[in-house]
Amino acid sequence: GIAGAAQAATVTFSNILDGNGIPALFDPSTTMPDSIDGNTLIIGLTDFTANGITISAVDTLSLLISAPAGYFITSLSYTEEGIGNAVTGIAVATGSIVVNNIPVNFPTQFLTPGTSGGWSISPTLPDSIFNNDTFVMVSITNSLFAYGDIDDEITKTFASLTVGLTAVPVPSSIFLLGGGLFAILGTMRRKRG
């Protein structure tokens, strides 16, 4: 049905630019669609780490997403994952995503003294962001912070963005027009025959 057709349609990711990170922590050259699901963008990373010495790691990635002909972009889901270690200090992961100039903050992940392990962030993007869009501008800003000694560290290891599509509905007037044309052609054939 329509849902299956929407899954077969593939969006275009373009104008992928690293923002303000010095050094660049997002890597546009290794940011590419997933080999299995072309509507998922796997975001390239370059040593996206903050520790007790560097203290912070902040960068922004921006891009344009375009729907294929006959489809609207109706949802985006963003996920990032990482690992952290807070020995004597703390480690924090946070950020935001901006879609069509509407910002959504990430839930903040904290590692307190004496904790370590994996973390993940998946912000909820409200449906109201999307309004029969055939393209959307997206900007993702990430911030990692670590305070304490050199062993206090937080690293982002994975990030992806998945796009949901819906087929543009065919107006009922098209069906009426098509039905009317068939009726006229049928009448013309009977008159000739």
Q: What is the pLDDT of residue 1?
A: 40
**CATH architecture of the domain formed by 2-192:** Sandwich (2.60)
Please check whether residue 55 is in contact with residue 92, taking contact to mean a CB–CB distance below 8 angstroms. no
Whole-prediction pTM: 0.81
The 3-state DSSP composition of the chain as helix, strand, coil percent (nearest 5) reads 20, 50, 30
Taking 70 as the pLDDT cut, the residues of the chain under it are 1-8, 20-22, 172-193
How far apart are the C-alpha atoms of 156 and 30, rounded to whole Å? 15
Q: What is the pLDDT of residue 193?
A: 61
- Can you give the C-alpha Rg of the chain in angstroms? 23
Please check whether residue 43 is in contact with residue 157, taking contact to mean a CB–CB distance below 8 angstroms. no
Q: What is the pLDDT of residue 173?
A: 53
Nearest to 32 by CA among 140, 192, 161, 186: 161
Whose tokens are 């009922």? That residue is 172
Q: What is the pLDDT of residue 5?
A: 44
Q: What is the pLDDT of residue 6?
A: 44
Q: What is the pLDDT of residue 23?
A: 74
Phi-psi region of 148 (alpha: psi -120 to 50; beta: other; left: phi over 0): left
Q: What is the pLDDT of residue 172?
A: 60
Q: What is the pLDDT of residue 130?
A: 93
